[in-house]
Structure 1
Amino acid sequence: DMNEGIIARFRTMAIHRPSILVGHVVGSVLQCLMSVLLVGAVAVAIGFRSTGATALEWLAAFGVTALIALALTWVAVGMGLVSPNAEAASNNALPLVVLPLISSAFVPIDSMPGWFRPIAEYQPFTPAIETLRGLLLGTGIGHNGWLAVAWCAGLTVLGYFWSKATFDRDPS
């Protein structure tokens, strides 16, 4: 959008400047949540069964997923705004794709080598994954729920202010 001229047109209109970014983020988060619902429906169709999760726990899991999507979208918007072109923007988000792979998503932290445990334990995806597991599979959540919300809130605020500052500074 930055190279096509539509953003330059929006900048000349009498609209709230951050609304351009907020609109993009809202659309991306809604698209992500629709994808999650589709994947969840397929998972249930092929046999996934939650062990005793209540409707409230399902709603909480959806809320955590929405928070993760919101946080990562704001960070991705910031990365996109500092990128010189669309190709670089898509490549800059690669570390976000790798983070779930080095979390507790596939391997329990206790079975990881000692030197690798802090990397997996102290990053945003591990508490989010453990919270989702706890809500949907009946395992304990412990402090992971609050950590997941704190990570999401922190990344959302950081991403928003980074994106807004970059967008306001960019004259293109």
Structure 2
Amino acid sequence: MGENSPRVLVPQTWVLTARILRRWSRDPATMVQSLVMPAGFLVALDIVLGDGIEQVTGHSALYGSVPLVAMVGAMTGAIIGAVGVMRERDEGLLSRLWVVPAHRASGLLARLAADAVRITVITAVVLCVGLALGFRFRQSVPESVLWLFVPAIFGVALSAAVITLALWSTSTIVPQATEIIIALLMFFSTGFVPLDQYPGWLQPVVEHQPVSYSIEAMRGLSLGGPVLEPMLGTVLWSVGIAAACAVPMAIGYRKASRRG
């Protein structure tokens, strides 16, 4: 089989994915940022806003704040992966991997697969904290299982966008600047406060941005309510971002791997 044979893509992607996951698991800063900080943020959010939102909506604020924190964890972790790509490019690791008989697509796919695993683990941790605070699923088991994987849909697409920026940048300032966008998506979403609490002119923006779509889909899967429309919005946003980044990311990874 040739090095670019489809039959070698899956096993080689798995090997490189496991490498990335081991590296993250051995980095205390990454573990704290990925697991401890979202759990602490959820507790703080519930203490500060929980009672007020429950009085307005008539149900626990956790049905919005738990999905919100899961989405924030999914998005902020994308910066970790992007900085890691830049470090491996500057250290020459990408160049060394490029000359070994490995499938050309395995490197990029491994990073996206590792992000999917990371996001799912973060979501599970946030869910456990939410359950301890009183969050409960009121739907069937299939909906509960699907709930766990919703953040990964948009999170992986965002990771692709941030990695694309990193591959075309010479400084970590550019991918780290995406924290501003992440903060805007977090604060102006239906997970932070209910939609009707925003000014009328801002409500359409809040309602139709990707994080709000994901939160509403997760709310419907746990508490009950519309699921199809917000899930479709999440998928469309994710596919659009991934499609826009596919070619620039592939070209950028190729250039970074042949650097030096």
TM-score w.r.t. length of structure 1? 0.87
Structure 1 residue 79 and structure 2 residue 177: aligned?
A: no
Q: Secondary structure at the match of 1:44?
A: helix
Instruction: Specify the alignment match of 1:54 in structure 2.
Output: 140
Structure 1 residue 152 and structure 2 residue 243: aligned?
A: no
Superposition deviation, residue 132 in structure 1: 0.7
- 2-side partners of 1:116 and 1:46: how far apart? 31
Q: Which has the larger radius of gyration?
A: 2
Instruction: Specify the alignment match of 1:164 in structure 2.
Output: 250
Structure 1 residue 118 and structure 2 residue 204: aligned?
A: yes
- 1-side partners of 2:179 and 2:99: how far apart? 30
Closer/same/farther in 2, CA of residues 97 and 22 from structure 1, 3 Å limit = farther
- 1-side partners of 2:228 and 2:93: how far apart? 47
| Structure 1 unmatched ranges of 5 or more | none
Instruction: Specify the alignment match of 2:101 in structure 1.
Output: 14
Residue pair 1:29, 1:73 contacting (<8 A) in 2 also: no
- What value does the CA root-mean-square deviation take over the aligned residues? 2.0
- 2-side partners of 1:122 and 1:48: how far apart? 25
- 2-side partners of 1:33 and 1:116: how far apart? 31
Residue correspondence of structure 1 range 129-144 to structure 2 within 5 A:
129-141=215-227, 143-144=229-230
Residue correspondence of structure 1 range 35-46 to structure 2 within 5 A:
35-46=122-133
Superposition deviation, residue 93 in structure 1: 4.5
Aligned to 1:23, which of 104, 107, 110?
A: 110
Q: Which has the higher contact order (CA 8 A, sep 6+)?
A: 1
| Structure 2 unmatched ranges of 5 or more | 1-87
Residue pair 1:80, 1:90 contacting (<8 A) in 2 also: no
Percent sequence identity over matched residues? Answer: 25
User: Which amino acid in 2 is paired with 1:69?
Assistant: G
- 2-side partners of 1:134 and 1:119: how far apart? 20
